[in-house]
Amino acid sequence: MFSRDRKGEMEIDVMLDEPLTSDSCTKVVMELIKYILYQKQQIPFTYEALAQFQTSVKTTDRNAVSFRALSGTLKTVSDHLSSQFFLKGCDIKEVAIILGATILSPKLYIGIDLPSYVLNSKQHKEYQHSSRKPLLKLMRSMLECDEFQEAMNVPLNMTNMFVMLRKNDSNSVSDFFLPKPQYVPPMQTASCFRIKLCQSDQADMRCNCRTLVKVYHDSCKTYLENEDDVQYTQYNSATQSSYRWYQSKQIIKGFKFSS
């Protein structure tokens, strides 16, 4: 389940027994971001506790204001990340979560390898597959990895969090995720982990999505006549060199509790 590659990255394999859809993948990434923010002391309490806390104080409370700013940033990142999965001509291979002053000087680098055979498939319906099971699998795998937990326990001063995508995008403009064509993750300067999402063959066998009425995302346009029997193949046909890094326009910033 855990191994270290030649680049020095610790690999964490997460075997999913539930099909991972674009929507559930977005939710898994965003929950991981919230987890890291708390574990690395970028927010004073868990995200859920902060959400509850801000409802019990005045709207002008400094902590409530800070939380609303953070919540707004996460909502924006989540919305734009989700739209990327449904964007025609856009194929995401990896999502990176980076903690550090800049993307060139990270203290923590977590890359999430996305399973192309799941995310490029139109065979699964969003409302049939909850993000809960994949998230629980991910959390269990991270908790069982001693090196990951050690990295989470290392204190870190307030810093920036960046979300980056490595994708093959035929669209001429990328408004929110800005191209960083020359970027190479500096693995030598950070604690590096690679989360590899894998799917069990049994997951598709237990799924009845093919028998259900199709429901499409508003921004998803389809030009295939028999889409149930076809998986998008641009991921497999594209070369490694065709994938480029893109950085989110917004930087995620935590806050300290003000008493």
Does residue 93 lie within any of the structural domains? yes
Q: For each successive 10 residues of the chain (259 residues), what is the average pLDDT?
A: 70 87 90 98 97 93 96 98 90 95 95 73 53 88 96 96 96 92 85 89 54 51 41 52 93 95
123 is in which domain, residue-wise?
A: 9-217+236-253
Does residue 207 lie within any of the structural domains? yes
Does residue 228 lie within any of the structural domains? no
Residue with structure tokens 């550090």? 100
Which amino acid, 129?
A: H
- The pLDDT value recorded for residue 229 is 40
Does residue 223 lie within any of the structural domains? no
- The pLDDT value recorded for residue 134 is 87
- The pLDDT value recorded for residue 136 is 92
Does residue 227 lie within any of the structural domains? no
Does residue 225 lie within any of the structural domains? no
Does residue 39 lie within any of the structural domains? yes
User: Nearest-5° angle of CA 185, CA 155, CA 15?
Assistant: 55
DSSP 187: G
- The pLDDT value recorded for residue 231 is 41
Give how many domains the chain has, as a whole number.
1
- The pLDDT value recorded for residue 203 is 52
- The pLDDT value recorded for residue 214 is 52
Neighbours of 30 (CB within 10 A): 20
Residues making up the chain, counted from first to last:
259
Max alpha carbon distance in the chain (Å)?
A: 60
Does residue 1 lie within any of the structural domains? no
Which amino acid, 60?
A: T
- The pLDDT value recorded for residue 227 is 43
Which CATH number belongs to the domain containing residue 36 in this structure? 3.30.900.20
